[in-house]
């Protein structure tokens, strides 16, 4: 076929196609350039962070909690090595499968962990469990390929010299709840829940540090890039004597009650014991739901610190304050005499009879003998002459019905009634017969053992009412430097020396006289003053015809004793309460005598 020349417009069509192809190439290049600019410029910070999260992690280093030491520097609480298991969900293909595998070797709550995972942020470690030992994590490290996304951090656990006898003083720790996280704590933080652990949380907790590390695809740490070390919590130094507290635990021997020992120079607490105790190791590293239910549901209420939370009628130990008030207000003198026939009527018109504990009476009584033999009728008369207004006034001066402001949480005020109190609480007026009951520590009155100890200590130190304290200093764990905590004076009552001496002589008679109710507290090495108390918990009419051994335990009287020694220079106040222990002279007084005898042998004299 002969050669045909091209049409003139073919070159025009070719040029159009070339231009179109060039246009397509330019558009594609522009799109790629824009994408690169977007990734490398506009979204650089975001993508760099995501990239780093896949290789660089920030790991928290928990601060050690401070130690708690007794007055001699003996460690009551310190820290033991422990480890926490954490997971990062972005490193895990199947979270449920991993948790199932972990649960074969460690105790964990799968539902709680899954809830934490749902609330966690991108690449945020989530705590699975705590309390692992070095041997535990060694196993997991050897088999790390089976546990992708799992990491371990040091998580020291509380370790106790004795996990029971100081339980109410020290308190326990636990993991923060959601509310505390919202307030600024980090998930997994450990805080004090009771006792000194709670009261001094700020001092004990310290400041966490951090470590910037490179991890591999399984979340294993390959390299540490930088580290900010944690600041350990400060130590707290107590006024408590380990040896004395231990001795008290021994002699209480399963009794339910409380013992308080104060140095009345500043009301520092040498011993404060509540029984039954509980085992702090049950909370270490955490308490199971089953154990918590057993503890919280125990009928003997071991979680209750009876020394500051138990509220009991003070019974006859309150007569000490009534005697002081009567002498100071001039309604009686040491020579004032009342006749005890075994009963008392506030007015001639009333039909209400108030009986003395000695059914047939004590006869003619002066103050010293009335205290020594604990004559109710004598103090019915004194209380009636003082009136409820004066009794209430003096009670408040010595912190009855008020917080003593001890440096422990959950202290209770008890009740010391007044006209205003009854009108406000019961919407009733006050009757003279009620004053009579109050004057022997019965009626509406309830006190804690610590309040009675503060009352007695403050009377015999000349009227200086200090807030009782357990912590004497805060210590820097690195330098050892201590910041002393000064005692706090709450009130000052000017009690004349002759008043104090008169009442002390009577309390010494109560211990040393053959007719005294406190003779079982006698100690050969020191002269002490003491007062028993037997506090009714139900009406006497229900038990007066029953033998003591036949009275149901929860109907039996509470047993009190308060002692102060040495009598010539009062320094130490000792209060013993035994719940449903019966007579104070039979139950609490011998215990107090044993405690004081031990104290003297330890140099407290």
Can you tell me the distance from the alpha carbon of 535 to that of 545, in angstroms, rounded to the nearest whole number? 18
Q: What b-and-e string marks burial along 54-81, b requiring 16 or more CB atoms within 10 Å of the CB?
A: eeebbbbebbbbbbbbbbeeeebbbbee
What was the pLDDT predicted at 14? 61
Question: Percentage of residues in the chain with pLDDT exceeding 90?
Answer: 59
- Structure confidence at residue 348 as a pLDDT band (50, 70, 90): low
What was the pLDDT predicted at 138? 83
- Structure confidence at residue 541 as a pLDDT band (50, 70, 90): low
Closest Cα partner for 585 from 556, 555, 562?
Answer: 562
Q: Cβ(529)–Cβ(511) under 8 Å? A: yes
Can you tell me the distance from the alpha carbon of 57 to that of 218, in angstroms, rounded to the nearest whole number? 13
Q: Is the dihedral of CA 467, 468, 471, 472 positive or negative?
A: positive
Q: CA of 43: how far to CAs of 124, 190, 383, in Å?
A: 22, 38, 84
User: Average pLDDT of the chain?
Assistant: 88
What was the pLDDT predicted at 437? 93
Question: Residue 20 pLDDT > 70, yes or no?
Answer: no
Sequence-separated (6 or more) residues with CB below 8 Å from residue 429 = 419, 422, 423
- Domains of the chain and any CATH numbers: 52-79+163-236 (3.90.1310.10), 82-155 (3.90.1310.10), 242-277+305-475+484-601 (3.40.710.10)
Closest Cα partner for 265 from 497, 489, 448?
Answer: 489
What was the pLDDT predicted at 509? 96
Give the pairing of strands 489-492 and 572-578: unpaired
The model's pLDDT over 261-304, given as tens digits with 9 standing for 90+, comes to 999 999 999 999 999 999 999 998 888 888 999 999 999 999 99
Residue 174 CB neighbours (<10 A): 15
The model's pLDDT over 480-500, given as tens digits with 9 standing for 90+, comes to 999 999 999 999 999 999 999
Q: Using CA atoms of 535, 540, 542, 543 in order, give the dihedral in degrees to the nearest 10.
A: 70
Q: CA of 412: how far to CAs of 97, 128, 186, in Å?
A: 50, 38, 32
Q: Angle between the 497-512 and 319-329 helix axes, to the nearest 10 degrees?
A: 150
Task: Say if residue 276 is preceded by a cis peptide, omega within 30 of 0.
Answer: yes
The model's pLDDT over 116-136, given as tens digits with 9 standing for 90+, comes to 777 777 777 788 888 888 888
- Structure confidence at residue 550 as a pLDDT band (50, 70, 90): low
Q: What b-and-e string marks burial along 481-509, b requiring 16 or more CB atoms within 10 Å of the CB?
A: eeeebeeeebeeeebeeebbebbbbbbbb
User: Residue 210 forms beta bridges with which residues?
Assistant: 60, 228
What was the pLDDT predicted at 313? 95
Q: Is the dihedral of CA 543, 544, 546, 548 positive or negative?
A: positive
User: Residue 235 forms beta bridges with which residues?
Assistant: 475
Work out the angle at residue 177's Cα, subtended by the Cα atoms of residues 172 and 180, and round it to the nearest 5 degrees: 100
What was the pLDDT predicted at 209? 87
The model's pLDDT over 140-165, given as tens digits with 9 standing for 90+, comes to 777 777 777 787 888 889 999 999 99
Higher pLDDT, 557 or 259: 259
Closest Cα partner for 88 from 46, 57, 133, 62?
Answer: 57
Residue with tokens 């009551």: 76
Question: Residue 428 pLDDT > 80, yes or no?
Answer: yes
């Amino acid at each position: 076929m002969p050669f045909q020349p091209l049409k003139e417009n073919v070159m025009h069509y070719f040029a159009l196609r070339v231009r179109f192809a060039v246009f397509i190439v330019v558009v594609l290049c522009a799109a790629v350039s824009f994408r690169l600019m977007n990734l490398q410029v506009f979204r650089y910070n975001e993508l760099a962070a995501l990239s780093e999260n896949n290789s660089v992690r920030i790991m928290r280093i928990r601060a050690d909690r401070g130690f708690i030491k007794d007055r001699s520097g003996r460690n009551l609480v310190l820290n033991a090595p422990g480890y926490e298991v954490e997971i990062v969900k972005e490193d895990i293909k199947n979270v449920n499968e991993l948790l199932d595998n972990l649960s074969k070797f460690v105790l964990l709550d799968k539902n709680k962990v899954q809830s934490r995972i749902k609330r966690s942020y991108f690449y945020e470690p989530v705590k699975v469990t705590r309390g692992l030992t070095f041997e535990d994590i060694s196993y997991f490290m050897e088999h790390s390929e089976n546990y992708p996304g799992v990491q371990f951090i040091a998580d020291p656990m509380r370790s106790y010299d004795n996990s029971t006898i100081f339980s109410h003083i020290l308190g326990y720790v636990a993991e923060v709840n959601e509310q505390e996280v919202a307030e600024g704590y980090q998930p997994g933080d450990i805080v004090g829940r009771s006792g000194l652990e709670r009261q001094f949380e700020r001092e004990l907790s310290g400041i966490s540090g951090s470590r910037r590390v490179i991890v591999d695809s399984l979340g294993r740490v390959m390299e540490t890039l930088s580290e900010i070390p944690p600041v350990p919590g400060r130590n707290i130094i107590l006024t408590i004597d380990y040896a004395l507290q231990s001795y008290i635990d021994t002699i209480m021997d399963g009794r339910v009650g409380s013992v308080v020992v104060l140095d009345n120079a500043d009301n520092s607490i040498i011993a404060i014991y509540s029984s039954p105790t509980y085992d702090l190791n049950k909370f270490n590293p955490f308490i199971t739901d089953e154990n918590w239910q057993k503890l919280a549901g125990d009928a003997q209420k071991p979680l209750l610190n009876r020394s500051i939370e138990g509220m009991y009628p003070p019974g006859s130990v309150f007569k000490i304050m009534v005697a002081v008030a009567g002498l100071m207000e001039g309604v009686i003198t040491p020579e004032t005499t009342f006749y005890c026939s075994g009963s008392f009527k506030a007015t001639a018109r009333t039909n209400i009879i108030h009986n003395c504990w000695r059914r047939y009476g004590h006869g003619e009584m002066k103050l010293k003998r009335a205290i020594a033999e604990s004559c109710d009728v004598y103090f019915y008369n004194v209380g009636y002459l003082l009136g409820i207004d004066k009794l209430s006034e003096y009670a408040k001066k010595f912190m009855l019905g008020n917080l003593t402001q001890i440096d422990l949480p959950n202290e209770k005020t008890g009740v010391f009634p007044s006209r205003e109190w009854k009108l406000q609480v019961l919407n009733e007026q006050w009757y003279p017969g009620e004053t009579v009951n109050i004057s022997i520590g019965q009626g509406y009155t309830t006190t804690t053992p610590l309040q009675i100890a503060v009352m007695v200590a403050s009377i015999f130190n000349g009227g200086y009412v200090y807030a009782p304290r357990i912590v004497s200093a805060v210590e820097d764990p690195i330098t050892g430097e201590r910041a002393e905590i000064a005692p706090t004076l709450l009130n000052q009552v000017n009690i004349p020396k002759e008043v104090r001496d008169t009442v002390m002589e009577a309390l010494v008679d109560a211990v040393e006289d053959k007719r005294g109710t406190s003779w079982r507290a006698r100690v050969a090495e020191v002269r002490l003053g003491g007062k028993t108390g037997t506090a009714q918990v139900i009406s006497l009419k229900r038990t007066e015809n029953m033998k003591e051994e036949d009275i149901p335990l929860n109907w039996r009287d509470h047993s009190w004793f308060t002692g102060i020694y040495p009598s010539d220079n009062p320094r130490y106040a000792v209060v013993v309460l035994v719940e449903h222990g019966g007579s104070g002279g039979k139950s609490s007084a011998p215990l107090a005598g044993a405690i004081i005898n031990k104290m003297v042998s330890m140099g407290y004299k």
